[in-house]
Amino acid sequence: MASEPAMPQPAAPQRSTPQRSTPLLAIEQLTVGFETATGTVHALDDVSFAIGRGECVALVGESGSGKSITGLAVMRLLGRRALVQAGRIVFDGADLLTLSEKAMQATRGKRVAMIFQNAKASLNPIKTVGDILVDILRSHHHGLSRAAARARIVALLDRIGINEPAERLRAYPSELSGGMCQRIMIAAAFACEPDLIIADEPTSALDVTTQQLVMDLLMTLCRERGVAAIFITHDLALASEYCDRAVVLHAGQVLEQGPVSEVLTSPRHPYTRMLLDSLPYGKDDIGQLKAMGGGLPDLRRNDLPCCRFAERCPQVEPACRGLPLPERRFGPTHIVRCQHPLEPSLAAAPRASAARAM
C-alpha cells in the first residue's frame, strides 16, 4: 500500500434520485431456500428492492441476514443446494433467473461484476495476478490476444492509481497486501465495464486506513463511470457515507429501505433503530450504547413468525407473528415493513456518520 490513489476526493454529492420508472435491477419477491441435512434453510423471504442506473445502494444487516445470498442470487452463483422458490431478478429488462447458463455467463463480469470480502482468497494463489486479469478480460472479448489484454490491464491499473502496474501483474496474490489485492479485484471488476457492481463487504478484511482508500477508489470509479453498486456491509457508517439508499435486511426479510439520510438517521423500523443504538457513533457515554437484543432466529424452523424480527422486537404484538408484513411508505422511496412503525419523534437521533471513527 505504498501509494495514495491519484483520485479526486470521494464523498460525491448525493445524486438526484434516478428515474424510478426503469430501474437497472429489480429484485421482485425473491424467496430462496437451501436444502441441508437438517432441513430447509429459509434464507430469503419475499425480498424486493430496485436499483437505478448509477445508483449506489447499501445492503445492511447482521451477519446471516441474507445480504451475501442476495448478491450471489443476482449472480446466480448460489450453488447446487439452493432453491429459488419464488421471485424474479429483472436486470435491464430480462429476468436473470430464466436466462440460459451461456447467457448468464456472458452477463457475469461483463454486465454485473462482483467483488468479495477476502480479496486475497478470491485470487487463485498459484496464478499471477496478471494471468487472472487477462483470463477475465479475454473471456469477454473473444479474439483479444494475451498481449493486448495485458496492455489494456496495465493501462487500467495505471489509471486507477496503482504504482508500477506491470510489476504488480507479475506478482502472485500471496506477495501482495490485502489492500492491493482488493484494488486488483476492483480493477478486474471494472475491466469489462459492467453496469452494476456487487461489492460484498469489500473492506471488512482490511485495516481502517486501507478501508478508506479502497472505498474511495471503488465509489469514485462507480460515480465517474455511472456504474450502479450494491454495497453489502454491516458497517452503517460506511453505508451512510458512500451510498444513496439503504436496504435493511433481517433474517432474509427486507424490513426497511429508503434514502440513507432518512433510514440511517430517523429510522422507522424498530430493527433499524436497534442497529443504530448499538453503534458508538454520536453517543456521549456508554450508557447510551445498547447491545443488540437476541439473535437471528434459526432459519431452518418451519414455524417462523411472519415478521422474523417479532421474537426480538420490543413492541411485538400478536399481529406481527400472524399477518403478512405490510408495506408502509414514508416518502417516495422510504418503505417500512412493520405493523407498528416508529414515530419520527422517537427516531430523532444523531446521524450515524456524524462521528465516524477515524
Partner 1 sequence: MRHKGLRILLARIATTIPILFGVVVVTFALIRSLPGDPAVYYASGPGAGPAEIEAVRRQLGLDRSLVEQFWRYLVELGSGRFGNSLQTGQPVLADFAQRLPATLELAILAFAMGVGTAIPLGILAAVKRDGWIDQLCRVLSSTAAAMPGFFFGLILIYFFYFLAGVAPEPIGRLPGWALPPPVVTGFMTIDCLLAGDVELFWAALGKMILPAASMAIFAIAPLLRMMRGGMIDALDSDYVTASRAFGLSRTRVLLGYALPNALLPVLATMGMVLSTMIGANIMIEKLFAWPGIGAYAINALIGLDYAPVQAFVLIVAVLFVLMTLAIDLISSAVDPRYGQG
Per CB under 8 A, 269 contacts partner 1: no
Instruction: By CB under 8 A, tell whether 141 contacts partner 1.
Output: no
Would you count residue 116 as binding partner 1 (CB under 8 A)?
yes
Q: What is the DSSP string of 34-85?
A: EEETTEEEEEEEEEEEEE-TT-EEEEE-STTSSHHHHHHHHHT-S-TTEEEE
204 belongs to the binding site for partner 1 (CB under 8 A): no
Name the residue with cell 432474509.
Answer: 252
Chosen residue from 13, 93, 125, 314 binding partner 1 by CB under 8 A: 125
- 184 contacts partner 1 (rule: CB under 8 A): no
From CA 288, how far away is CA 283, in angstroms rounded?
A: 6
Are 171 and 200 in contact, with CB atoms under 8 Å apart? no
Least distance to partner 1 from the beta carbon of 153, Å? 13
Residue with cell 437521533: 349
143 binds partner 1 per the rule CB under 8 A: no
Residue 278 binds partner 1 (CB under 8 A): no
124 near partner 1, rule: CB under 8 A: yes
Within 44-63, which residues bind partner 1 (CB under 8 A)?
none
CB of 89 to partner 1, least distance (A): 15
Output 176 or 352, the one with its CB closest to partner 1.
176
Indicate if the alpha-carbon torsion angle 57, 63, 64, 69 is positive or negative.
positive
Cα–Cα distance for residue pair 8/160, rounded to 1 Å: 11
CA–CA separation, 98 and 88 (whole Å)? 9
The answer to whether residue 214 forms part of the interface with partner 1 (CB under 8 A) is no
Q: In the window 155-174, what residues touch partner 1 (CB under 8 A)? A: 172, 174
Of the ranges 124-132, 156-164, 207-215, 298-306, which one interacts with partner 1 (CB under 8 A)? 124-132
Binding track, positions 305-334, relative to partner 1; x by CB under 8 A: ------------------------------
| C-alpha pair distances (Å), 351 with each of 54, 98, 278 | 25, 41, 13
Gap between the Cα atoms of 120 and 140, Å rounded: 23
Please select the residue that binds partner 1; options are 33, 44, 50, 107, rule is CB under 8 A.
Answer: 107
- H or E stretch including 105? helix 101-107
Looking at 6, 11, 77, 86, which residue binds partner 1 (CB under 8 A)? 77
Q: Which of 87, 109, 259, 297 binds partner 1 (CB under 8 A)?
A: 109
Our finding on whether 178 is near partner 1 (CB under 8 A) is no
Per-residue burial over 144-157, b if 16 or more Cβ lie within 10 Å, else e, is eeeeebbebbbebb
- The distance of closest approach from Cβ of residue 246 to partner 1 in the complex, given in angstroms and rounded to an integer, is 23
| The dihedral sign for the CA sequence 163, 166, 172, 173 | positive
What is the C-alpha to C-alpha distance for residues 300 and 33, in angstroms, rounded to an integer?
9
Where does this chain touch partner 1 (CB under 8 A) — which range of 102-110, 145-153, 297-305, 317-325? 102-110
User: What Cα–Cα distance (Å) separates residue 110 from each residue in 187, 219, 256?
Assistant: 13, 18, 31
13 binds partner 1 (CB under 8 A): no
Count of residues of this chain found to bind partner 1 when the rule CB under 8 A is applied: 32
Length of the chain, in residues:
358
For partner 1, the closer of residues 49 and 116 by Cβ is 116
The answer to whether residue 36 forms part of the interface with partner 1 (CB under 8 A) is no
206 lies in the binding site for partner 1 (CB under 8 A): no
Q: Is 176 among the residues that bind partner 1 (CB under 8 A)?
A: no
CA separation for the pair 140, 83 (Å, rounded): 28
Among positions 40, 118, 212, 261, the unique one binding partner 1 when judged by CB under 8 A:
118
Report CA torsion sign: 58, 28, 224, 203. Answer: positive
Contact residues toward partner 1 (CB under 8 A) are 75, 77, 101, 105-110, 113-114, 116, 118, 121-127, 132, 135-136, 139-140, 172, 174-175, 185, 188-189, 192
